Amino acid sequence: MLAVKKAVIPAAGLGTRQYPASACVKKAFFPLVDRDGRSKPVLQIVIEEALAGGVAEVCIVGLPAMEESCRRYFRAMPDELRPAFEGKEWAFQQAETLRRIGERLSFVAQTEQRGLGHAVWCARRWIGGEPFLVLLGDHVFLSGCKRPCSAQLIEAFSGHSITALTPVGEEQLPGFGVVRGRPSAENAALVHAEGFIEKPPVEVARARCRVEGVPEGIYLAHFGMHLFTPGMLEVLDEMVRSDRRERGEFQLTAAQDILCRREPYFGLVIEGERYDMGTPEGMLEAQAALLKNRDSHLFSSS
């Protein structure tokens, strides 16, 4: 397994689909009750997923005020709060976890919401010349096995970019980016990516996005997690310099589509589920899934 030390978490989206709650609390701080029964902001659950995968450092791409909010949250128990928690050992343990997470965090501001591709591009100097994991800051990832979803992706990394995938039906296509590709001969869960299409119409998906061995009417879509080589930053840089946008934004899916034509690029079907907190329904589903998985597969982030 090759070392992957860095993870980027884009969390600068405005969360318009979660209005009016998002006008009061940033989407990344929406609370959920995690598998250990503790209330946490979704961003913490995402960071813990990245750390459980083995990365050492995490960069949050957020709105300019986010660094201060995060620094105030991911820290040791402040002295003035300690009396309120006297005798509540669990709270001090939680605060210790927050402090340890805080030590591993860096921040980059995205001052204008110019899309997911742009958010990743904003972290380019922090990333440097290393491979890096990307996890969407408003997704909950629940593994279906003993290894976290992030660890499954990192274990499959062979020096080439690899995107986490999950099967979706035709009715779900309007919400997802989908891979075009062919299955790997060695690993049934691995796909050689030949293209990525964002929200393909059904006819386009039927004609171009079928992957051999995957049942008819099922496509392999983005899971919300990627592991990129620095080649991705070159593609994003070219897109930003030439102002190559789609629907007004620098789309990560468009950059993936370019990258997989330049370098070997894989997709990995993850054993697990992901829940998108971007919508009220997704948030309810995420909470229900966490509840159902109570006490199971909670990975230590220490």
Return residues touching ligand UTP (CB under 6 A).
Answer: 10-17, 27, 61, 110, 113-116, 118-119, 136-138, 278
Closest contact distance (angstroms) between CB of 138 and ligand UTP is: 4
CB nearer to ligand UTP: pick between 91 and 109: 109
For residue 263, the SS3 value is coil
CB nearer to ligand UTP: pick between 95 and 290: 290
Rounded CA-CA distance 176/173 in Å is 5
CB nearer to ligand UTP: pick between 142 and 283: 283
Rounded CA-CA distance 138/46 in Å is 8
H/E stretch holding 226 reads strand 218-228
Phi-psi category of residue 272: left, alpha or beta, with phi > 0 → left and psi -120 to 50 → alpha:
left
Closest contact distance (angstroms) between CB of 276 and ligand UTP is: 7
Token pair of 263 as six digits: 């370098």
Closest contact distance (angstroms) between CB of 75 and ligand UTP is: 23
CB nearer to ligand UTP: pick between 55 and 63: 63
Please say whether the beta carbons of 13 and 224 come within 8 A.
no
Rounded CA-CA distance 297/150 in Å is 13
CB nearer to ligand UTP: pick between 13 and 53: 13
Closest contact distance (angstroms) between CB of 110 and ligand UTP is: 5
Closest contact distance (angstroms) between CB of 153 and ligand UTP is: 17
CB nearer to ligand UTP: pick between 153 and 190: 153
The residue among 43, 57, 49 whose CA lies nearest residue 149 is: 49
- 248 CB-contact burial (10 Å; exposed 0-12 / middle 13-18 / buried 19+): exposed
Closest contact distance (angstroms) between CB of 14 and ligand UTP is: 4
CB nearer to ligand UTP: pick between 16 and 296: 16
Residue 276's alpha-carbon distances to 13, 137, 150, 224, 232, in angstroms, are 13, 9, 16, 9, 24
Residue nearest to ligand UTP (CB): 13
DSSP codes joined into one string, 123-176: THHHHTTS-EEEE-TTEEEEESSSS-HHHHHHHT-SSSEEEEEEEEEGGGGGG-
Closest contact distance (angstroms) between CB of 1 and ligand UTP is: 27
CB nearer to ligand UTP: pick between 2 and 21: 21
For residue 27, the SS3 value is helix
Closest contact distance (angstroms) between CB of 225 and ligand UTP is: 12
Rounded CA-CA distance 174/171 in Å is 7
